[in-house]
Amino acid sequence: MESDKPVMEESLLKKYIRIFLVVSAYWAVSISLVFINKALLSGSTNGTTVDAPLFVTWFQCVVTVGICIFLAYGAKLFPHLGTFPELGLDVKVMLKVLPLSLVFVAMISFNNLCLKYVGVAFYYIGRSLTTVFNVLMTWVLLGERTSFNALVCCAIIVGGFWLGVDQEGVAGSLSISGTIYGVLASLFVSLNSIYTKKVLPFVNQSIWLLGYYNNLNACLLFLPLMLLNGELPTLIAFQGYTNITFWTMMVAGGVFGFAIGYVTGLQIQVTSPLTHNISGTAKACAQTVLATYWYKEVKPFLWWVSNWVVLFGSAAYTRVRQQEMERIHKAKVTNP
């Protein structure tokens, strides 16, 4: 028994170290992606900022497809390093994934448009209604009702959102268009999760294969959208194509955009969906504090209160949903 104890402690220590590394990777990738996109979309450095948010998003999708192809061929050459699904160009699968791709394109487009017009510090508040739309869309599309306690948590989140918008206006830095884009991004984030579940059976439940076809569709969908958004003249007149820093940031944005999907899944795998939500909430708090320091922004007291209200409402909702899932599980076990 005595000899087994050090072994158990060592394995537990390895588990904690792994969890710490995965959570740290999620925080690093997620925060880095936000700051990189902000610099590309509305930074102050000449030659590294392009006024074409859809082009930036399109390029990130191209990088993601490229990484998927690279990993697929790498898995064939070095099968001992891991498995990766066979990639092809199946038009039928592309058409089946298309509804999700339309939602996905809207989601990342409005997300980057929001980031273009609002500061990183306000970005969390601007995108804070995702939970509320999750509840609304699951009721509208799936017919699932939500408990009273969960609705109270949603009301707290909405209250924090309105207070944040009000305080951003008081500070004189409110962007109406950026806020609207943030609300629309929240809506399509909730729709994205719903449509992902619907489309996964068409790709044999493979997240990697879904990511490949989804981003492949997005690469094609963004081309006419860039023309309709009038970005072609901007891209023709852009002087930063010879700037190595610009392309480094563009590629980094694509790599981090690909990586965020992987580290998110990994964090859920080594912890739990609840811990992932708590980690995401804490990350958003750290991101807000870091942004105010990085951009030297001074915010009023009530502005900070709005952030804490949203964080509290989000954390409370996560806890309420966990308790509801536990009750449902116990009921199924008791009365199968």
> 4 lies in a domain?
no
What is the pTM (predicted TM-score) of this model?
Answer: 0.83
245, 270, 295 - which closes a domain? 270
> 26 lies in a domain?
no
The Cα–Cα gap between 236 and 169 comes to: 35
Give yes or no: residues 186 and 221 share one domain.
yes
> 9 lies in a domain?
no
218, 236, 270 - which closes a domain? 270
Give yes or no: residues 196 and 304 share one domain.
no
State how many domains the chain has: 2
Give yes or no: residues 319 and 202 share one domain.
no
Give yes or no: residues 187 and 155 share one domain.
no
> 5 lies in a domain?
no
Task: Print pLDDT tens along the chain (336 aa).
Answer: 445 555 555 577 788 888 888 889 989 998 998 899 888 888 666 667 888 899 999 999 999 999 988 888 888 887 776 677 788 888 999 999 999 999 999 989 998 898 888 888 888 888 888 888 888 888 888 788 888 888 999 999 999 999 989 988 887 888 999 999 999 988 988 888 788 888 888 888 888 888 899 999 999 999 999 999 899 999 998 888 888 989 999 999 999 988 887 787 777 777 766 666 677 777 887 888 888 888 888 888 898 998 889 888 888 888 888 788 778 777 777 776
Domain that holds residue 57: 34-118+175-270
> 303 lies in a domain?
yes
Give yes or no: residues 188 and 53 share one domain.
yes
Give yes or no: residues 53 and 105 share one domain.
yes
> 142 lies in a domain?
no
> 96 lies in a domain?
yes
Give yes or no: residues 196 and 100 share one domain.
yes
233, 252, 270 - which closes a domain? 270
Give yes or no: residues 101 and 240 share one domain.
yes
Give yes or no: residues 187 and 216 share one domain.
yes
- Of 257, 226, 271, nearest to 15 (Cα)? 271
> 42 lies in a domain?
yes
